[in-house]
Structure 1
């Protein structure tokens, strides 16, 4: 399978349109389309962004392995997220993460990353979500 096909497969696995994925990645949907159709090859930095965004490895995207999963021990993000989930102040909503199947965990992790990114740029005194 080509790099472009793997990019498309991962995007579709997360239920994203090209436009949605391109917005999240900070590129145009035309650029994403060119990557997915193998008309253009991403630079190493962009390849890393794809791997992080699609919760996979660059080795998988490049066809060096058929295993698209991230090893839990290889990702400090998973450890950070699980510490967050285990904090009783963060509510019951995230508790189901620990017992969820891998696909659901990936979905919940992406949601948490989205929230964390939004909050990262928030200044003291700003209302949540602004």
Structure 2
């Protein structure tokens, strides 16, 4: 599947019109149409915005993988171990019984938090990393 087809497939999956998606991405409808029809290729920065907006990865958009989800199997199992730990509170309590779309959303949220906290030491304030 081409980049253009993948862009359109992800836009359709979100239920967005081409005009709405273009507006929210900060590009013209004509530009988006050209990308979806494979007449043009987006610059890397825009490709990253597409991936974020369409809730997928750049690897999926350019065809390096056929898995449109943002998390691989290891991230999912790590997240489920985290969720099952009773010390982690009730925020993720309903994860295991949630519909797949909600699970994906919760997993993306957890990955965002995990990435923001990477490199933080216990003595650091939350959201800040050591400057050593």
TM over 0.5: yes
TM-score range, shorter chain: 0.5 to 0.7
- Superposition RMSD in Å: 3.0
Aligned-residue offset at 1:100: 2.7
Structure 2 gaps, min length 5: 108-132
Q: What SS does structure 2 have at the residue aligned with 1:64? A: coil
2:98 counterpart residue number: 100
Conserved? CA contact 1:55–1:106, under 8 Å: no
Is 2:15 the counterpart of 1:15? yes
Q: If the length of structure 1 is used for normalisation, what is the TM-score?
A: 0.61
Offset at residue 24 of structure 1 (A): 1.0
Confirm whether residue 86 of structure 1 aligns to residue 91 of structure 2.
yes
Give the TM-score of the pair, scaled to structure 2.
0.60
Gaps of 5+ in 1: 88-94, 110-130
Instruction: Please give the alpha-carbon distance, in whole angstroms, between the structure 2 residues aligned to 1:105 and 1:15.
Output: 19
Q: How many residues are matched?
A: 96
User: What is the match of residue 52 of structure 1?
Assistant: 52
- 1:24 partnered with 2:24: yes
Q: Relative to 1, partners in 2 of residues 1:86 and 1:46: Cα closer, same or farther, differing over 3 Å?
A: same
Q: Return the alpha-carbon distance in structure 1 between the equivalents of residues 22 and 104 of structure 2.
A: 19
For the pair shown, the structure with the greater C-alpha radius of gyration is 2
1:106–1:53: structure 2 CA closer, same or farther, 3 Å change rule?
farther
Kindly indicate which of the two structures has a greater share of residues assigned to helix. 1
